[in-house]
Amino acid sequence: MIQDDIRTLEADACARIGAAATLEQLEAIRVEALGRKGVLAQISKEMGKLAPEERAQAGKLLNAAKQLLEEAFERRKREFDESRLAARLDAEWLDLTLPAPGPRPGSLHPITQIQMEIEDLFVSLGFMVLDGPEVETEYHNFDALNIPRDHPARDAQDTFWLTDGNLLRTHTSPVQVRGMERFRPPLRMIAPGRVFRNESVDASHEHTFYQIEGMMIDHDVSVAHLLYFMKTLLREVFRRDVSLRLRPGFFPFVEPGFELDVQCFICGGAGCPVCKQSGWVEQLGCGLVNPNVLRTSGIDPEQWSGFAFGLGLTRLVMMRYGVEDIRLLQSGDLRFLRQF
Ligand code: FA5
């Protein structure tokens, strides 16, 4: 019976409309029931075969079913639209009464932070903080430091020479000379600053990096004084006991000269790219001031002696914070800098 088919279609479609989970499912149900080739259209075709009074009755039933289903579809569609809108409003909700985030406060670069800590330490130990020019004379960078004309450090590989015969200082040691020229002993000074070397860059070498120079001239200054200050310095910077290693090192301006290494914090001494697999990272050169250097600056080495050190500040910062690549420090990358 066609009437039964219509009632079954109506009940079945109503149940499926109610259960539709998405707009797409709902549309599929609509096409299947009410579309041009849908179930309702099929039934409508079948009605041609009925007797006239039966057809009129079935026609009424069919129209009522069509109207009911169309209304049910519309209702369900409105429900979907409303819940979509509610979800969007929820997601795009703004609390306009909240205070604005405001400017993000800046912070000092980690190199500056550690430089200031070291300055404070040495000032508390009676040292002056001196500054020197980044563009230096050959005399202050080399000659007055007893670095002979044929020393490899003067090689064009390492030094950025300027066309006027001056150079970008390759270390902070020229400030020792400027300090001795300006002040008479007894003398205690440190000199932090930027230095430049024409060398290839890797995880632990930069062409532009920071050093802190230190010098103390007094009567009877010995290696014991030097070691005391170096241990105090490194304990303060690393805030823990550090393993140090002293190796003989050659610097023409000190005699005897040493290289001081710190056990690599990155790998704990096991070996990594920063320590070149050795477990140790070179932090500073140091020694007792060569009498020739004192003499060149007009200080009598018979009366006075001293120690000097040149610390790789950039490498020290790497060790303190576990920075694995020196290039990050001057990359200007805010994602890196915001960690300090
Ligand atoms: C010097 O520059 C001497 N003027 C140090 C000195 C001063 C010795 C006073 C004795 C008395 P050196 O070239 O080794 O020495 O450099 C000192 C430190 O700077 C090194 O120990 C290392 O920590 C750091 N350093 C050297 N080259 C680089 C580089 N390319 N990148 C980053 N750090 C470096």
Reduce the secondary structure of 226-277 to three states and give it as a string.
HHHHHHHHHHHHHCCCCCEEEEECCCCCEEEEEEEEEECCCCCCCCCCCCCC
CA of 282 to the centre of ligand 1 (A): 8
* Residue with token string 């707009």: 23
Which amino acid appears at position 66 of this protein?
K
- Closest ligand 1 atom to residue 311 Cα is 18
CA of 285 to the centre of ligand 1 (A): 6
The pLDDT assigned to 15 comes to 87
DSSP type of residue 142:
T
Both tokens of 14, joined, read 């109503």
Measured CA distances, 46 to 12, 36, 51, 59, 290 (Å): 19, 14, 11, 11, 116
Mutate which of 284, 325, 327 for ligand 1? The one with the most ligand atoms within 8 Å of its CB, which is 284
Mutate which of 168, 169, 211 for ligand 1? The one with the most ligand atoms within 8 Å of its CB, which is 211
- Where are the extended beta strands (E) located within the chain? 128-129, 135-136, 167-168, 187-196, 208-218, 244-248, 254-263, 280-289, 305-312
Mutate which of 151, 189, 282 for ligand 1? The one with the most ligand atoms within 8 Å of its CB, which is 282
CA of 316 to the centre of ligand 1 (A): 11
Both tokens of 265, joined, read 């914090």
The pLDDT assigned to 44 comes to 84
Q: How far apart are CA 109 and CA 89, in angstroms?
A: 43
**For the chain, what percentages of helix, strand and coil (3-state, to nearest 5) are there?**
45, 20, 35
Residues with CB under 6 A from ligand 1: 171, 173, 197, 199, 205-206, 209, 211, 251, 254, 257, 282-287, 308-310, 312, 314-315, 326
* Residue with token string 């005699």: 255
Tens of each residue's pLDDT in the chain, 340 residues? 788 888 888 888 888 888 888 888 888 888 888 888 888 888 888 888 888 888 888 888 888 888 988 898 999 899 888 888 999 988 988 888 998 888 888 889 999 999 999 999 999 999 999 999 999 999 999 999 999 888 876 776 689 999 999 999 999 999 999 999 999 999 999 999 999 999 899 988 999 999 999 999 999 999 999 989 998 998 888 888 788 888 999 999 999 999 999 888 778 889 988 788 999 988 899 999 999 999 999 999 999 999 999 999 998 998 889 898 999 999 989 899 888 8
CA of 187 to the centre of ligand 1 (A): 22
Per-residue pLDDT tens digits for 110-148: 999 999 999 999 999 999 999 999 999 999 999 999 998
CA of 100 to the centre of ligand 1 (A): 47
Question: For the domain 110-337, what is the CATH code?
Answer: 3.30.930.10
CA of 206 to the centre of ligand 1 (A): 11
The pLDDT assigned to 327 comes to 94
- Report which of 73, 125, 144 is spatially closest to residue 295, judged by C-alpha positions: 144
- Closest ligand 1 atom to residue 316 Cα is 23
Can you list the alpha helix ranges (DSSP code H) found in 172-242?
174-182, 223-238
Nearest CA to ligand 1 atom 28: 205
CA dihedral 238, 244, 250, 253 (to 10 degrees): 50
The pLDDT assigned to 156 comes to 63
CB 136 within 8 A of CB 168: yes
Per-residue pLDDT tens digits for 309-335: 999 999 899 888 989 899 999 998 989
Nearest CA to ligand 1 atom 2: 171
> What does DSSP say about strands 280-289 and 305-312: parallel, antiparallel, or unpaired?
antiparallel
